[in-house]
Amino acid sequence: MRLTFGWQVSTFFGWGIYGLNLALELRRLGIEAVSGAPFSRADVAVDPLRAEVARAVADRSAPLWRMIDQSSAEMVEVDGPLLSGLGRDLLCGPVAPGRYLTSKGMMIGVPFIEEAGISAAGRRRGAQYDLLIAGSGWNDDVLSRAGLDSTFIMQGVDRSIFHPAPKRGHWAGRFVVFAGGKLEYRKGQDLVLAAFREFRGRHSEALLVTAWASPWPWLARMAAAHPGMGQPPIGGDGQPDVVQWAVDSAVPADSVVALGPVPNFQMPHIIGEADAAIFASRAEGGTNLPAMECMACGIPTIVSANTGHLDLLEHGAIGLHRQRPIERREVDTTDWGESDVEEMVEALEAVYHGRVTAPDCTLPTWERQVGKLVNLVKGL
């Protein structure tokens, strides 16, 4: 059996990490994985064993990449089942500029929708798929409200990489708060910075470690909406200057560490040094993979109780339940939520004083979740 998925393999962003773990688990199941979007060795920073799998996927996918590059048609047809990544209004992402994949075989849509509104055209697009696999319980509800049937299969975690481990003590004497996700309005980093500012005012040893770098730095230009919080300044390299943003927000520079791009494979070494993790997303189409990985590492993980994050509350995440509705003209913010900064500080205080600790993580593994996906495909 061969299964093609219409996105990259990478260790630097969410879809790419999904692609890598999908490829790894398909290999375990004896299924040939083909990536519709070209990737290089530089995109996949992993150990030699995983690198071998990634190279095999690249070799197997190369003929398709050449066909896409040489095609004059918008739609390029593949053999066998095709997984297509879907975003806003169930639009399919291209595998190359102006190029999309289709198949005479089974068409499977994998939506991670950040806006609840689905238009009539979006419903028609969704109805063309033989199967829709929702990335969160919230997305499953959104699709149901639009009259579309779907199956919820959340992402997994690789427990061989993300698991509780002793701290190295790199920031000994500091109370380390980790925050991840690409810097943008939807992810709520302005709220995290505002809450940390207040928390650090009570605990001078507090340290905020951010993994907010992404391949889309322009999203940071309008990341802030919290009252009194300015927009992140952009450095000479075109990337947001997180430390300067903190300083401009009255957080001392020595209380913030801003990490650059970090391969997913290396993240446990950073996450494992944290005492708490916090994610104040205003909306999540999926279940927020960085938050899941923090939970798997045994870190008390605080998340906004809205949209895709609601699934994590069932697996031991600490919820921010004071969610204010959001109204923005340019996007459909139905079901989005604005976390209360005071509640965020209270949650950090609860972890600091030991009133809240991380429970045993019950999140599923990639092995289990990809197995579910494959069984669905075989069943059809």
Tens digits of pLDDT across the chain (380 residues):
899 999 999 999 999 999 999 999 999 999 999 999 999 999 999 999 999 999 999 999 999 999 999 999 999 999 999 999 999 999 999 999 999 999 989 999 999 999 999 999 999 999 999 999 999 999 999 999 999 999 999 999 999 999 999 999 999 999 999 999 999 999 999 999 999 999 999 999 999 999 999 999 999 999 999 999 999 999 888 889 999 999 999 999 999 999 999 999 999 999 999 999 999 999 999 999 999 999 999 999 999 999 999 999 999 999 999 999 998 878 899 999 999 999 999 999 999 999 998 888 899 999 999 999 999 999 88
pLDDT at 316: 95
pLDDT at 288: 97
Interstrand relation of 276-279 and 256-258 (parallel, antiparallel or unpaired): unpaired
Please tell me the distance from the alpha carbon of residue 54 to that of residue 24, in angstroms, as a whole number: 8
Are 2-156+365-379 and 175-352 in the same CATH fold?
A: yes
The CB density around residue 217, as the number of other CB atoms within 10 Å, is 19
Question: 25-31: which pairs have CB atoms within 8 A and are 24 or more residues apart?
Answer: 25/366, 25/367, 25/370, 25/371, 26/370, 26/374, 27/53, 27/56, 28/367, 29/370, 29/371, 29/374, 30/1, 31/1, 31/2, 31/3, 31/374
Choose which CATH entry (3.40.50.2000, 3.40.50.11440, 3.40.1280.10, 3.40.980.10) describes domain 175-352: 3.40.50.2000
Kindly give, in sequence order, each residue whose CB lies less than 8 Å from that of residue 272, ignoring residues fewer than 6 positions away. 164, 165, 166, 167, 168, 297, 299
pLDDT at 236: 85
Indicate the fold that domain 2-156+365-379 takes in CATH.
Answer: Rossmann fold (3.40.50)
pLDDT at 244: 97
Q: Which residues pair with 103 in a beta bridge?
A: 78
Please tell me the distance from the alpha carbon of residue 105 to that of residue 120, in angstroms, as a whole number: 25
> How many residues are listed for the chain in this entry?
380
| Domain assignments of the chain as residue spans, ordered by start | 2-156+365-379, 175-352
Please tell me the distance from the alpha carbon of residue 105 to that of residue 208, in angstroms, as a whole number: 48
What pTM, to 2 d.p., does this model score?
A: 0.96
Amino acid at 338: E
Helices and strands (H, E) in the chain, number of each type: 11, 16
pLDDT at 237: 86
Give the residue among 241, 251, 259 at the shortest CA–CA distance from 200: 251
